[in-house]
């Protein structure tokens, strides 16, 4: 029988161990969260080499910033993915490049969920997929552009032709809808 999937509570316990300098805690968190973190980095950066570098930097920064984690603001996975997201944005902005469509594909309005990994809760994945599908197409595309494309609000407004205030309002509404749908 396979080992049970780590839960958010397990991740939180590992982060507390990391905060107290216990050996093995960072490796255990890496083992549990590296798969989903790498897929987010790859989605944003396209380059496997860049994604691997940002993945490593993410866990180095996690070790340095473990004390900043606040369970009231989200899960450990959310904390790690936020670190990765910010590092990807820094890299995208530093090279002034945007991800290119892979294999000559055009922009697909469908949101590609990362492939399941042993460290990912299938229920969370199903809830996220359903929540994203329930959003209006424009809101979902704006979220993708912001989180995976690395575009700023102003850049999204220019790309879509929507007023800046509308872009900001739609993104805020979409994030609140996702949070509401993802909270049990």
User: What confidence tens digit (pLDDT) does each residue in 20-39 have?
Assistant: 888 889 999 999 999 999 99
**The overall pTM is greater than 0.85:** no
Q: Are both 13 and 61 inside the same structural domain?
A: yes
And the tokens for 117? 């990994």
Over residues 144-161, mean pLDDT:
85
CATH value at residue 27: 1.10.1740.10
Specify whether the CB–CB gap between 24 and 50 falls below 8 A: no
Q: Pinpoint the alpha helices (H) of 117-163.
A: 122-134, 137-147, 153-160
Of 106 and 59, which is predicted with more confidence? Answer: 59
Compute the C-alpha angle 178/149/60, nearest 5°: 85
Q: Are both 47 and 132 inside the same structural domain?
A: no
Q: Are both 9 and 59 inside the same structural domain?
A: yes
Q: Are both 83 and 37 inside the same structural domain?
A: yes
Q: Are both 15 and 81 inside the same structural domain?
A: yes
Over residues 155-166, mean pLDDT:
90
Q: Are both 82 and 129 inside the same structural domain?
A: no
Range of the domain at 181: 121-184
Task: Domain count for the chain, please give it.
Answer: 2
The DSSP output letter for 48 is H
Give which of 58, 63, 110, 111 is closest to 88, Cα–Cα: 58
CB-based contacts of 147, cutoff 8 Å, min separation 6: 44, 85
For the chain, the C-alpha Rg in angstroms (whole number) is: 17
């Amino acid at each position: 029988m396979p080992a049970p999937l780590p839960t958010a509570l397990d991740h939180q316990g590992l982060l507390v161990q990391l905060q107290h300098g216990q050996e093995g805690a960072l490796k255990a968190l890496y083992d549990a969260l590296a798969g989903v973190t790498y897929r987010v980095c790859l989605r944003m950066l396209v380059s496997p080499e860049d994604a691997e570098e940002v993945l490593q930097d993410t866990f180095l920064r996690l070790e340095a910033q473990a004390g900043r984690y606040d369970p009231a603001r989200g899960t450990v996975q959310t904390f790690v993915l936020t670190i990765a997201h910010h590092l990807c944005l820094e890299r995208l902005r530093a090279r002034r490049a945007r991800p290119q469509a892979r294999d000559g594909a055009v922009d697909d309005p469908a949101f590609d969920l990362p492939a399941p990994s042993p460290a990912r809760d299938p229920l969370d994945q199903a809830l996220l997929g359903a929540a994203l599908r329930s959003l209006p197409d424009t809101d979902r595309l704006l979220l993708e552009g912001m989180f995976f494309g690395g575009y700023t609000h102003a850049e999204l407004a220019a790309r879509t032709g929507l007023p800046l205030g509308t872009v900001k309002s739609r993104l805020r509404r979409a994030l609140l809808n996702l949070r509401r749908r993802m909270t049990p």
